[in-house]
Structure 1
Amino acid sequence: MPAARSADWQLLREEDGASEFHAATLPLELHRADAEAYMHGLTAEPPCVYVVMRESDDADRPLEMTLVTASPYEAQDYADSGEELVEKVPMPSGLVAWVREFALAHFKEEEFKKRRRDKRTVGEAEDGIGDPRIAQLTDVYRSPALVKKGRLQ
């Protein structure tokens, strides 16, 4: 509920044995670095915010409201942890416009660049971790093949 006052599990209504509560009022913060995630989230039908919650030991407040985010990527990270519950809530049209305006102002599409492999052979560069400049009786890291050929002493 945009612009809602503070609430702590305030009962809004009861119908047919179901109760609807205003559990908490949390700020929705937008960050420039997440503009791509917001753009992706706005393409969903309908666009949503994600409420992150944790279970509580208090019977009167069964869930602790932790975070509200417009980033589906951040919401997925919390969902993957398994410690939090993540609920999808449709955005009101005014909030959609606000998030879209912010995302368009800060989103910069990066051009895809295909990586090229190095032409050098990695296996020839290093043959074991032992330092050949230090005389040792044994070195567990030195390659046995080099010792047999007499290249190292």
Structure 2
Amino acid sequence: MRKAPVSLPLGIVIRRTPSVNRWVPFAWQAVAVLPGAAQADWQVLREEGEAVEFHAATVPLELWHTDTEAYLATLSARVPSIGVVMRETEDPDAEHPYEILLATASAYEFQDYADSGEELLELVPMPEGLVAFLRDFVQAHHEEEIFVKRRRDKKRIDLMEDGRGDARISQLSDVFRAPRTGRPH
């Protein structure tokens, strides 16, 4: 039976700063997480000159007991971080151009999103309390997997005939023969 994940609400703080690119007015970056935060929808937290920090959203941080190896990879990083996955909204003229899809403590899950290239990804340093929470979770649920070396089957692979190619593909003749030129010999 699969155990349910441990879930913790995690507020995502996004900073908007003026862009140095003349075609894009603002740069958006995830800069912090707020463990245990209430729901929010782009609530302004702080303004410093033209820079504004928003509590953009609160998403669940789900910890699965089967993913402890990935959490160990996260904790062993120089700076343990939460991966924040954002996607551009459909409306290019929206006041807040990103929606928060996910926050993850799994280095492997974060890497999977990086492979797609569709989303904006940010690594946000974990607060000390969240590092301790994740470490306690891993200690409670991690089970070392014993490495089992795969054994080869007893099929003989040295019986192949050179020049015949793959035995599973039917061939009428030698695959390495010289092509005919069409001239009589």
- Which among 15, 28, 32 is matched to residue 61 of structure 2? 28
Q: Which stretch shifts more, 88-97 or 53-62?
A: 53-62
Bigger proportion of residues as helix: 1
How many matched pairs?
Answer: 133
Q: What displacement does 1:13 show?
A: 1.3
- Partners of 2:36 and 2:159 in 1: CA distance: 64
Report the counterpart of residue 101 of structure 2 in structure 1.
Answer: 66
Classify the secondary structure of the residue corresponding to 1:67: strand
Do residues 38 (structure 1) and 71 (structure 2) align? yes
Report the counterpart of residue 112 of structure 1 in structure 2.
Answer: 147
- Partners of 2:84 and 2:168 in 1: CA distance: 52
The gaps in structure 2 that reach 5 residues or longer are: 1-33, 161-165, 174-185
Identity %: 58
Report the counterpart of residue 18 of structure 1 in structure 2.
Answer: 51
Classify the secondary structure of the residue corresponding to 1:28: strand
1:71-82 alignment runs, 5 A limit: 71-82=106-117
Amino acid at match of 2:117: G
Amino acid at match of 1:2: P
- Partners of 2:141 and 2:116 in 1: CA distance: 29
TM-score with structure 1 length normalisation? 0.77
The gaps in structure 1 that reach 5 residues or longer are: 130-140, 146-153
Q: Which stretch shifts more, 109-118 or 65-74?
A: 109-118
TM-score with structure 2 length normalisation? 0.64
* Structure of higher CA gyration radius: 1
Q: What displacement does 1:89 show?
A: 0.7
